[in-house]
Amino acid sequence: MNSIVKYFFAVLLLGLISCKNDPKVEAQSQELENEIAQYDALMEEAIEVHDDVMPKMGRLMELSEMMDQQIKKDSTISEFKIAKEKLNAAHDDMMTWMREYSEQFPYGEESPATAAALDQKMPVLEEKVEEIKRVKTETENVITYAQNLMKKVAVDDFKKDQSIAK
């Protein structure tokens, strides 16, 4: 009986050792690790872009208020209304992205640990990264547009003041 137990443990040990060195298993494990690393890198990229855009939300709101002031002065100038709509849209897009992102990728959630979980989450994450990049571009463009509009107003106001002073 004692030799049967020893034989059983020897076979079991050999089986475990041979599975551990199986190149196919090792390759799958390495591939999974690489995919998890890609997922983690995308998560970092999403947050980095978000962190770059978030401080610009204050400037968006400032410019939106400036557009309101210009609309009150002269409601016939549609440029200010268009700029206000674009500023609000950029702000709304950021708020929507943050809400959806936090619902789909809750803070502190572990990275997917299986290929099936990665297959499910990776496309959603890739889409969210592209969305936040689009929000960043949209935000930067509308800020530039609104700032240029306000510079134009400042120049026009200066010219009016100069003509009055003459």
Domain ranges of the chain: 2-165
Q: Tell me how far apart the alpha carbons of residues 137 and 72 are, in angstroms, rounded to a whole number.
A: 29
Q: Tell me how far apart the alpha carbons of residues 36 and 110 are, in angstroms, rounded to a whole number.
A: 11
For 1-54, how does the pLDDT look when each residue is reduced to its tens digit (9 = 90+)?
566 655 555 554 455 555 555 667 777 788 889 999 999 999 999 999 999 999
Per-residue confidence (pLDDT) for residue 114, from 0 to 100: 92
Mean pLDDT for the chain overall: 85
Tokens 């400036």 correspond to what residue?
66
Q: Tell me how far apart the alpha carbons of residues 87 and 83 are, in angstroms, rounded to a whole number.
A: 6
pTM: 0.77
Per-residue confidence (pLDDT) for residue 28, from 0 to 100: 78
CB-based contacts of 153, cutoff 8 Å, min separation 6: 70
* Both tokens assigned to 151: 């510079």
Q: Class of the 2-165 domain?
A: mainly alpha
